[in-house]
Structure formats: structure tokens, C-alpha cells
């Protein structure tokens, strides 16, 4: 007789073997078996409280929820024709991002106008979706000083949001022009090589960083802030940050390092191409950055376009830096190979040398 409840058991086939009793050990790394008292002493005696300064590092990372406005893709002068004094003509609509960056003054870098911190974003903001590195910039002034332990230490203080907005939107405008004016040179090079063949030397591959404006989400009681976010020019990949050409004069820095010297000469050549192809109206000044990535350009423009009271581009667009181009610029092997013209006085403002840029220029710099 089959008893209710026991039927399932009675009908089952051969059961699966019971699990092995032998415990599975966690995988641990190989290491010496014995540690001497001396070795242990050197490890153990360090296990004490961190110093005040070290503890302070816990509080140096700032996290910002931000609306991020990416700089549009600017490649050709025609892309600039649609821009105006409105910063929104340079940026795509906002995305959400979280930014984290180190505000420790010891890790901060600064020029004469902007301070820069290194950090990360989520999501990644630029070309490589796996690269979260960012460089966060704000304009600043140097305070007379804070009292720390009896001595007065000067500090970099960010300008308020209104001032940041004015300066950082101009930075974005200059970056867009930097992109276009550098691409213009590579387009010229490509066309020339198609007709005349390859040069006997390599052409440095350089570009301006991608960038975004980031406005901090309002935090109760705190002032809203604005930042310029750029691709990080990482020293491990790009080498030490360096200035290739200043804005005051179109004279490249002399480098001892042969590759830097080559890059500086190449960038001087790009200025000559830009000056020519825009019919003596504009070129990039203040070339700086790493081996391939550039940032913080000044756009140097002919003072004739500055209507009274309307300074074009950033404050570094100094008239003398533009006006002395023909005296300052010394042609190099790049200029010679690519047959750049130096008969500056014969460049007719409306002739073909403009490559059709003259009209676009006057539209896009109009106010
Ligand atoms: N994209 C970047 N990645 C890493 N470091 C940067 C980047 N841009 C600038 N820096 C560092 O920050 C400093 C200040 O930035 P910069 O834009 O050149 O300001 P300024 O307008 O004062 O010249 C630079 O001298 C450089 O050391
Ligand atoms: Mg700079
Ligand atoms: Zn030249």
C-alpha cells in the first residue's frame, strides 16, 4: 500500500551525491611564511592616527551636481558663421553630470587668470567614454591673505558666478575658434600634399581640448557657481604642460627638447597659414598644452574689426600682438616646404588667398 506523502520519495531515481565535506579555501596571495619581529616592527609602528593635515585631505574633494553644456563640434569656418555673442550658439543643450575635483591649493594649478583642479566626472563628458578625467577651471584673484598659524598666506579666490559667466563663456568662444583655425591648417596641409607630395619630415598632430560649461545645481544657502570643464591634459600621456607661443608676439619658445622645438615651430607655421587664409584678419596666439592636446588659446584679431567699445575675444587679444605679426614671425622649414607667401603687402583683402573665408569672417565677428 502506498502511504500518502511518501509517494514522491518512493518514485525518485538514484539521488545526486551529497556535496563534498572538504571546505573550499579562499584564494590567498603567496607571501613569505615567517615575518621577523624587525619586519613586523617597521609595519606596526606606523599604525597610529593620521596627522591633522592628512585628515584634512578627506575634505578636499568637492562634489558638484551640474548642468553641463558641451562645446559644439566646430571644425570649419562655416560652423562659426551661425554663432553670435550669445554663448548658446557655441554650446549644446545641458546634460546632467556629477563632478568631483580636488580643491587642495597644493594640487591646484594656476596661470595669471585661471586656476585649474583635476578630477573626474560621471558620466564621461568627452570623446572616450571610458575616460572620466577632467580639468576644472575658474577665474580667480589672489586674496591679500588668510591668517594661518600667525603667518599670512595669500590664497586664490574664485570670482563670483556673474564674473565667471562672462569670462568662461569667452574661453569657450576662443576654444571654438582655436578648433576651427587649427583644422584650417590641417586642411591646407592635406590639399598641398595631394598636389605636391609628402614633406621630408613628420607633421605634428595636435588639437584643442574638448570642453563644457558646467553650472552648479543650486544648493540651499550657497551661491551658485560656474566652471569650465576640459579634457585633462595628463602629464603621463602628454608630458609637462608648456607654453609654445605667447600672445604678446608670434615668436615661438626656444626648446632644448627636439620634439618640443619641432612642435613650437609647427605652431608658428600654423599662425602664418591662419594669417594668410583669413586674409590677415585672425590667428591663434598663446599656444600651450601638452604633446598633442592644446588649451587656453587667445584669438588674435585685426584691430580694424573692433568697433568702438567692442573688444573682440578675450583681454589677451592685444592689438600689438596682432599688428606686429609680419615683423615677429620668422618663416621656418614648415613655412618653406608649404610655400607660404611672405609678400604680405600684395595680399589683396578680397583675393582668392582668403579661400572664401573673408565673407564668413565678417558675418561671424559682427555683433
Ligand atoms: N586641460 C588641462 N589639463 C590639465 N592641466 C591644465 C589644463 N588646462 C590648464 N592646465 C593647467 O592649469 C594652468 C592654468 O590654466 P590656463 O587655462 O592656462 O589659465 P590662464 O588663463 O591663467 O593661463 C595651466 O598653466 C596648466 O598648468
Ligand atoms: Mg594659460
Ligand atoms: Zn612663415
Per-residue pLDDT reduced to its tens digit, 174-192: 999 999 999 999 999 999 9
In a domain, 321, yes or no: yes
Least confident segment among 16-25, 88-97, 153-162, 187-196: 16-25
Look at residues 67, 120, 124, 123 and name the one whose alpha carbon lies nearest to residue 96.
67
Max Cα-Cα span within the chain: 118
Minimal-distance CA residue to ligand 1 atom 25: 111
In a domain, 275, yes or no: yes
3-state secondary structure the chain: CCCCCCHHHHHCCCCCCCCCCCCCCCCCCCCCCCCCHHHHHHHHCCCCCCCHHHHHHHHCEEEEEEEEEEECCCCCHHHHHCCCCCHHHCECCCEEEEEEEECCHHHCEECCCEEEEEEEEECCCCCCCCCCEEEEEEEEEECCCEEECCEEECCEEECCHHHHHHHHHHHHHHHHHHHHHHHHHHHHHHHHHHHHCCCCCCCCCCEECCEEEEEECCCCCCCCCEEEEEECCCHHHHCCCEECECCCCCCECCCCCHHHHHHHHHHHHHHHHHHHHCCCCEEEECCEECCCEEECCEEEECHHHCCCCCCCCCCCCCHHHHHCHHHHCCCCHHHHHCCCCCCHHHCCCCCHHHCCHHHHHHHHCCC
Q: Structurally, how many domains does the chain consist of?
A: 1
pLDDT at 347: 77
78 or 22: which carries more pLDDT confidence? 78
220 or 132: which carries more pLDDT confidence? 132
**pLDDT one-digit tens code per residue, 53-85:** 899 999 999 999 999 999 999 999 999 999 999
Domain holding 332, by residue range, is: 60-364
Tell me if 209 CB under 6 Å of ligand 1.
yes
Tell me if 111 CB under 6 Å of ligand 1.
yes
The mean pLDDT value for 7-18 works out to 53
Q: Which percentage of the chain shows pLDDT scores above 90? A: 77
Minimal-distance CA residue to ligand 1 atom 17: 296
In a domain, 42, yes or no: no
Look at residues 205, 202, 199 and name the one whose alpha carbon lies nearest to residue 336.
199
The mean pLDDT value for 110-134 works out to 97
In a domain, 53, yes or no: no
Going from the Cα of 296 to the center of ligand 1, the distance in angstroms, rounded, reads 7
Minimal-distance CA residue to ligand 1 atom 27: 109
Tell me if 135 CB under 6 Å of ligand 1.
yes
In a domain, 150, yes or no: yes
In a domain, 327, yes or no: yes
Tell me if 295 CB under 6 Å of ligand 1.
yes
Residue 243 Cα: closest atom of ligand 1: 25
In a domain, 35, yes or no: no
pLDDT band (50, 70, 90) for residue 142: very high
pLDDT at 266: 98
Pocket probe for ligand 1: among 71, 107, 108, 114, the residue whose CB has the most ligand atoms within 8 Å is 114
In a domain, 10, yes or no: no
Q: Quick check: 365 and 289 in contact, CB under 8 A? A: no
Going from the Cα of 101 to the center of ligand 2, the distance in angstroms, rounded, reads 20
pLDDT at 348: 67
Amino acid at each position: 500500500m502506498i502511504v500518502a506523502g511518501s509517494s514522491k520519495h518512493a518514485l525518485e531515481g538514484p539521488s545526486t551525491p551529497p556535496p563534498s565535506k572538504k571546505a573550499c579555501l579562499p584564494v590567498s596571495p603567496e607571501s613569505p611564511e615567517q615575518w621577523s619581529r624587525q619586519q613586523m616592527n617597521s609595519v606596526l609602528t606606523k599604525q597610529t592616527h593620521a596627522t591633522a593635515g592628512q585628515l584634512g585631505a578627506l575634505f578636499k574633494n568637492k562634489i558638484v551636481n551640474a548642468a553641463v553644456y558641451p562645446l559644439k563640434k566646430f571644425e570649419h569656418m562655416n560652423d562659426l558663421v551661425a554663432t553670435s555673442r550669445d554663448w548658446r550658439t557655441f554650446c549644446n543643450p545641458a546634460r546632467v553630470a556629477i563632478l568631483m575635483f580636488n580643491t587642495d591649493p597644493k594640487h591646484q594649478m594656476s596661470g595669471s587668470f585661471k586656476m585649474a583642479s583635476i578630477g573626474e566626472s560621471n558620466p564621461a563628458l568627452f570623446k572616450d567614454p571610458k575616460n572620466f578625467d577632467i580639468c576644472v577651471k575658474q577665474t580667480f584673484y589672489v586674496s591679500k591673505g588668510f591668517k594661518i598659524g600667525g603667518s599670512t598666506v595669500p590664497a586664490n579666490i574664485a570670482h563670483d558666478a556673474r564674473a565667471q559667466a562672462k569670462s568662461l563663456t569667452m574661453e569657450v568662444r576662443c576654444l571654438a575658434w582655436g578648433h576651427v583655425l587649427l583644422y584650417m591648417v590641417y586642411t591646407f596641409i592635406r590639399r598641398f600634399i595631394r598636389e605636391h607630395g609628402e614633406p621630408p619630415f613628420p607633421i605634428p598632430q595636435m588639437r584643442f581640448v574638448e570642453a563644457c560649461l558646467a553650472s552648479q545645481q543650486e544648493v540651499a544657502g550657497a551661491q551658485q557657481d560656474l566652471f569650465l570643464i576640459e579634457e585633462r591634459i595628463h602629464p603621463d600621456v602628454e608630458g609637462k604642460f608648456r607654453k609654445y607661443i605667447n600672445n604678446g608676439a608670434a615668436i615661438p619658445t626656444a626648446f632644448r627638447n627636439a620634439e618640443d622645438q619641432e612642435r613650437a615651430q609647427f605652431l608658428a607655421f600654423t599662425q602664418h597659414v591662419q594669417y594668410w587664409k583669413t586674409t590677415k584678419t585672425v590667428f591663434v596666439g598663446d599656444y600651450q598644452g601638452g604633446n598633442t592636446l592644446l588649451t587656453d588659446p587667445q584669438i588674435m584679431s585685426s584691430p580694424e574689426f573692433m568697433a568702438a567699445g567692442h573688444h573682440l575675444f578675450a583681454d589677451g587679444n592685444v592689438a600689438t600682438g596682432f599688428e606686429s605679426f609680419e615683423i615677429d614671425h620668422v618663416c621656418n622649414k614648415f613655412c618653406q616646404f608649404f610655400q607660404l607667401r611672405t609678400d604680405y603687402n600684395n595680399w589683396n583683402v578680397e583675393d582668392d588667398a582668403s579661400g572664401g573665408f573673408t565673407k564668413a569672417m565678417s558675418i561671424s565677428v559682427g555683433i
